[in-house]
Amino acid sequence: MYTLPSASAERLRGWLETINTYNDTPEFGTTRVLFTPTEVAARAYVKREMEVVGLAVHEDAIGNIFGVLEGTEPALAPVWTGSHIDTVLNAGMFDGMAGVVAGMEAARLIRASGIAHRRSLCVIVFTSEEPTRFGLCCLGSRTMAGHMTEEDTKALRDQDGKTLHEVLRELGYHPAELQQIVRRKGDVYASVELHIEQSASLERSGKSVGIVRGICAPTCFNVTVTGEQSHAGGTSMADRMDAFTAASEISLLLEELGRTAHESEYTTATVGHVEVIPNASNAIPGKVKFSIDIRDCSLASKDSLIEKLKAGIRAIELKRGVRIELELQNHDTPIMCDSNIVSTIAQSCEALEIDPLPTISGAYHDSLFVGEFAPIGMIFVPSKNGISHSPEEWTEYSDIARGTDVLAQTLLTLANQ
Ligand code: HGY
Ligand code: MN
Ligand code: MN
């Protein structure tokens, strides 16, 4: 246990409220989409504040931001913390941002304490944890794990048809140098991300800190159902090939499988984005495009659900005479957290007289990909009513401060291992 100053809830609040002013939908939640002028301005603000804290700031070829507090033995593999500042549409002000400001505050506390730490500490803002702009999540950490090439950035397009490659080049980043970002095992000693829980387990248990044991991983598909566009009044019910009712049947099948067909209690299945063509009240939809998001903490359980889903989709295709195309976006692997980091977080909680809740993350995080090359851990702080990805998202600043105290103790302990 180290004697560190307590984290300042007011400072955390100031950072979070200022980051939240970089928002494209102030009338309805928070929207800060990757590499838009709003997000770029928010990045600049965070970089300035990192420098105020005393961190040496740099960015890599895909825009991951690093704020470094150098250790006494800088040649040793560093300890990482951090999260993201991009959001989904009409979101809240804590998802990702809480982990970034907690990392900055933990670094500030450690620096103010004057206690030596052998390993350097890096506070990271990962590029694009959300899939909002390019349909693929965790672009920065996915690249670090070696899953993103320059060719991939040319294939990812946003809703306006612009590629990630073009956007990176326009902002002065270097998509040709992505390979230099790739990390190998041993490059990072430990990584600990603080995040809001985005679920209600902490609140229901009356606890203020969660220790994450494992992180569920997403498998995402874009589905296109092609039927026959026709007149709503002139086409008899028997003569229709209605793409929307076929899509609806797939969605209900997915919900049923999510509820019943799995071995793990952490399975989720969601249709979140739907596009109906021509979207006219008196025309039978000829085409429907929609998203499928399946999560699980067990890969075997997720794979078994996907097989059942594909069989069910084939049956719907035959029965309704429509064509159904499934385009896989990503099929990511769940991960368990590192036992040394989990016990270090637990010791920090004990030293701070906090009784933590061991938990599983239903949401994915950049730690899912960092965990492919480094030992990871996560610290959760409560989400009011378990709500996230919504303007109703709320976490008490005092809870973020308590979580930051645990984070600072944990980072300093790991940095001296
Ligand atoms: O969707 C997720 O799990 C993350 O919050 N982006
Ligand atoms: Mn999110
Ligand atoms: Mn997040």
Distance CA 407, CA 351 (A): 12
Report the distance separating Cα 177 and Cα 152, nearest Å: 13
83 C-alpha to center of ligand 3: Å? 7
Q: Closest Cα to atom 6, ligand 1: which residue?
A: 130
Ligand nearest to the CA of 96: 3
Report the residue among 126, 127, 129 best suited for mutation to probe ligand 1: largest number of ligand atoms under 8 A from its CB. 129
Residue 250 has a CB neighbour count (10 Å cut-off) of 22
Which amino acid appears at position 40 of this protein? V
The 3-state DSSP class for residue 378 equals strand
**Beta strand ranges found along 237-279 (DSSP E):** 268-270, 274-277
- 378: tokens are 């996560």
Burial of 124 (0-12, 13-18, 19+ CB in 10 A): buried
What is the pTM for the complete model shown? 0.94
Distance in Å, CA 63 to ligand 3 centroid: 17
End-to-end CA distance of the chain: 13
Helices (H), 281-396: 299-320, 339-351, 367-370
Which pLDDT score, from 0 to 100, does residue 18 have? 98
Closest CA to 19 of 80, 81, 94, 102: 94
Pocket test for ligand 1, best of 88, 132, 138, 142 (most atoms within 8 A of CB): 88
Query: Cβ atoms within 10 A of the Cβ of 12, count?
Result: 23
Q: What is the whole-number distance in angstroms between the Cα of residue 364 and the centre of ligand 1?
A: 5
Listed residue (60, 221, 206, 213) closest to 126, CA to CA: 60
Give the DSSP H/E element, type plus range, for residue 202. Answer: helix 201-205
Pocket of ligand 1 (CB under 6 A): 95, 129-130, 137, 363-364
Query: Average pLDDT by consecutive 10-residue portion of the chain (417 residues)?
Result: 96 98 98 98 98 98 98 98 98 98 98 98 98 97 97 97 98 97 98 98 98 97 98 97 98 96 85 98 98 96 96 98 97 97 98 98 97 98 98 98 98 98
d(CA 192, CA 12): 18
